[in-house]
Structure 1
Amino acid sequence: MSVRLFSSAATVLVIHNCPDHITVVNFLNISDVSVSWEEPTASSPNGPVMLVTSTHVSGETFPRNSQDTVTYVFEDLLASLKNVNLCGNSTVYSSHIPGDVFPPGPTMVNYIFTDGAGNSASCIFIVTVAEVDTTPPVLLSCPSNITVTVDVGQESVAVSWQPPTAEDLGGQVFQSDMLNPNDTFMIGVTEVVYEFADAANNRVSCTFTITVVESDSSPPIIMNCPDDIQEDIEIGTLTIIVTWKEPTAVDNSGQDALVTRNSFPGMPFAAGTREVVYIFSDSDNNEATCSFNVTVIPGTQFANMEVGTSNVVVTWPEPTVTDNSGSFNLIGPSHSPGDTFPTGLTNVVYNYEDNSGNSAVCEFRVNVSSEDTRPPSITGCPLTQTVNVEAGTDEVQVIWTEPTASDTSGLVSLLSNNYNSGDLFSVGDTIVEYVFVDAHGNQAVCSFIVRVTAVDTRDPLVINCPQTVTEVVELGVSVAIVRWDEPFAVDLSGSPVFVTKSHQPPVVLSVGDHVISYSFEDLAGNVADCVFTVSISTGITVTG
């Protein structure tokens, strides 16, 4: 324990109850221990003594395994007073007077009044100088306005920046912000605000804008850019018409891409190689290019031969030669007009040489293409199919052997047919058609007629044909008038029926048996008969 005393040179402060060194044994092995002691006091013959400060107080907690020095500082109040004023028989001692400069923090001001008899009175108060922070933090960095460009159709983009920083004399700065680097920003202008505040709530802000602008930086996308094209030009021809499917392009702006080109399909091309260039451009002048070569090979003799044929005879006008010497020799041409050539390209060479050994060469190509111009060959195409059906029948099933086809190309298929064997056909003529096609689109047609004829083979149907009809007459009567319900007939074909009959009721018939007949005939000559007997007999005479 140590004590520091502050007094005038003639004054000695007296310390009372200054404790000796204190040792505490921690039997419980706990981390902190509370230590208590009787606190010291001080006195001075001059008057009051003040405890200025102490490093610790009795009952304070000390950590385990530590050694701490406890210090009490006392001060003689009278000795510390520096201002003395005499007022009559009184003396005023003061530590400060109005207008003094005070340091930050609390300062004790003492006034002691003493009269001539040695009586004294004191006035003690505290002057506290508070440090007030009115200065806002200082921005160390703040981003400038940021502009970001996005492609057409892109609605947002992540934007990054170096966050601003600030410092303050107080040492502590608090930051608040609503947006952070790598956040997503929509098209347009967004204000970003960072605010910094110190412990005294003095504030400073960093404000900048992020502008997202839509701009088309992508070139159009080309589709169907043709590959290089090679064409052969026939002997004696200067140009050839070349066609191709033109490329197209789409653009992310949704607008059609403008195009410029140096050639177009269907135009004539001379011998040689020419680059065809298409340039597509959008409204923001982003360009995309499609280019390909058209090569025209001169001096070709064309010929076609049917598929399945191994070679074809090709002729051409032979070249003519002149020489200023008047004579020259043809040295073995590789081929002659009328030779046979296989499919594909064959080089034909004519070598000429004059008597001086000067030579000239004529070289061209024979291009033989295999072409299928023959339609398929049909086998088993049916003749007219004739079928009879009973009159009154609506339709009938007709069966035939279906045709087949073959082709020199080896590939043939049934393209279409309007009926199949086994289908139902109505009365009358119906055209049946089979269409066959080969691999090269050549077609062959098999057509025939299915003729369904309604034939009436059924007899008319007799209705109400009577049984035997009997009549009785009196004795002496030789005849009788006979009546019956006449039969009739109908025909299933719906055609009319004609009738022939032996008797027409009522009829007078003599006593005895009589055969009555009805004959019914339809338009097809089918006949049905109704025959019955009329029997007339004599009865007994009745008298009165």
Structure 2
Amino acid sequence: MMLTLILLFLQCFFICSSQRTPRSYVSTGKPAYQSTTYSSDGISYDAGLAVDGNSNGDFNYGSCSRTVVSGNQNPYWYVDLGDLHSITSVRIYTAYGFEVSNFGMEVYVVNSTDSSLDASNQLGSIGLSNYYRWYPDVIGRFVILFQRRSNEIVVCEGRVYGTPLSPVLTCPDISVVRTSSSIQVTWDPPTATDDVDTGLTATCTPPSGSYFTDDSNSVTCATTDSTGITVFCTFILQLISVDDESPTIVCPGDRQVYTSTGITTVYYNDPSVSDNVDTGLSANCTPPSGSSFQGASTNVTCTATDSAGNTGSCEFTIYLYDNSAPTVTCPNDIEEDTTTDQTSVTWNDPSVRNSDQPATCDPPSGSFFNVGSTDVTCTVRDWNDNTGICRFQVTVNQNRNPNVVCPDDPARFTDSTQVTVTWDDPSVIDNADTGLSATCTPSSGSLFNAGSTHVTCSVTDTDGNVGSCNFKVIVIDIYDPIVTCPANINKDTDAGNTTVTWDDPSVSDNVDPGLSATCTPLSGSSFNIGSTDVTCSVTDTAGNIGSCEFNVTVNDSGDPTVNCQDDIEVYTVSDKLTVTWNEIFLPVRDNVDTGLSATCTPSSGSSFNIGSTDVTCSATDSAGNTGSCGFKVTVNGYSIPGYLIAVIFVLVIIILVMSPVLVFYYRLYFSKKKNMDNSKQMNMTTYNNAAMATTSKQVDDDLYENYVMPTGNAYVVKETQQDDIYENP
């Protein structure tokens, strides 16, 4: 005993003087495995019970792991921490009564399950008590318990204290204003921190200083610590487009127009417009084409404004020369649609004044015009060789859009938040252009979140006709939410039921945050006495269902209430007396059971000696709770004086002598009575407090003698049969 105290003191001194502060234990909830699994009465004591956070040492509590008892050569149990950890201590909780089973069990920390178990990675061995050891920091991923003999391993909780060694990498968040179609972007390197290594650096793909063209660009950075653990972070580089470049407008050249009236209508070709961002811009000219011009010269200003509000302009001049040339009036501009590369266009001949010659147009009416705009010039000459000219424009629009055929909707399954999805390029067919390819948004190879995402693929031909198609990328979440229920609940009550509450189950999901479980019955419900299963479940947005169960047991702790009758006092001339009472009228009340009855000791009908006797009446409910009450039975004895005995003796002699005479007269009386009434009912009623006893007998030839002796709260009734005598005191 003294040696044990000294060893405990030295162990406490070593631990307390180590000046070490335990880190949080990192083994709870991690995957655990064992060589075999012991089962009994339908309960499987698997390895995970040793990392459930419950260190209760009672094996029957159901929170201990256990391997098979017999034939289990070299059993083992181990926990996988997921990655390398700096382990400071290990604590093993052994079940009560199983200390011998775990005696001599060896504790190892290794980086791989393929590692050999030898002295290089052994921490120690377990004695006849719970195992709790401090060590210098040990690097490892697996903590293994190994028994080098045929035995079993019983672990109620295996706690590993330490910290993970994975570095933490934090990416920057960058948005850059686009100043051109391709821009070089640099950024500060990601921040890398680690509990062990210092000065870690990250490598990004694409690297800082690269040129970017897309509006949204994904950049992935990674770092690796000295143990070979690599972590990643990803950020999105946004290019914000700012257009400050004006459209470029090219005006037609100066025009010389002849007129004989000093005023004439002038048509000119539309200026061409190009822009660094916008397409399909057109210019507005003042005065517009087709206006009436007069004077020697008129400046025409044309402007175009892009979607960013930038304005470009150009100018040209219309010169009028009055030489009385013929006047030619062209038809209005003509616009035709076609589904091919060209079409035939006809028009009415231009009207001519001041000349008897018809106008000639180039190209002539009825010609085939290609897709696009074509200027038609019509001229006429008079006899003086003065030439009249008019112009109009024929525009042929190709209204057939390119045909774009998208791939079928791709579907992918994932148990994470995102998945990369690729597809074949859409096919493109156009009536004019060849080699067109469609652009899809989002693009093939992008990361897609769980759910349905619309993808639009479009292409524009050289005539500005746009063709497109759509399809959906379906990412199906197949990961059930994880629901962790509270531990089983036991609660006592002295009523028929009680209200039971518990903390909400914890819920985690790979996609949906903030999920909460619904329990049936609800927390705060009223639970009857007995065992009730509670099921808690949650459904994520993909319809995956996670659930857990626990048990609520309400124990009956209320004793039955037994109400006894009042004390009984009786009298007797002998040394003992049989005393009865009605036990079925002893009321018993219970918070759960009905119909309970009390059992008395001594029981009703027992023989009681003279004096006072305690009677105890008790009742036990179905939960084993017992209630009782008590009362007293007092038996008092009569004491008869000697002179009274002499008097009684004389009276008995007189009665015996007179009995023949009395018999004669009584028979004479009853023979007459019988002729009037064949029977007569006699009722004898006695009252004891509120109880009534009634004795009815049919009077016939035989007579009865009844004696009723009042004895306090009880009545003793004695019956004797005599021939031809009836006496009713």
Higher strand share: 1
TM-score greater than 0.5 by the shorter chain: no
Query: Higher relative CO (CA 8 A, sep ≥ 6), structure 1 or 2?
Result: 1
Normalising by structure 1, we get a TM-score of 0.31
After TM superposition, the score normalised by the length of structure 2 is 0.24
User: Higher helix fraction: Structure 1 or Structure 2?
Assistant: 2
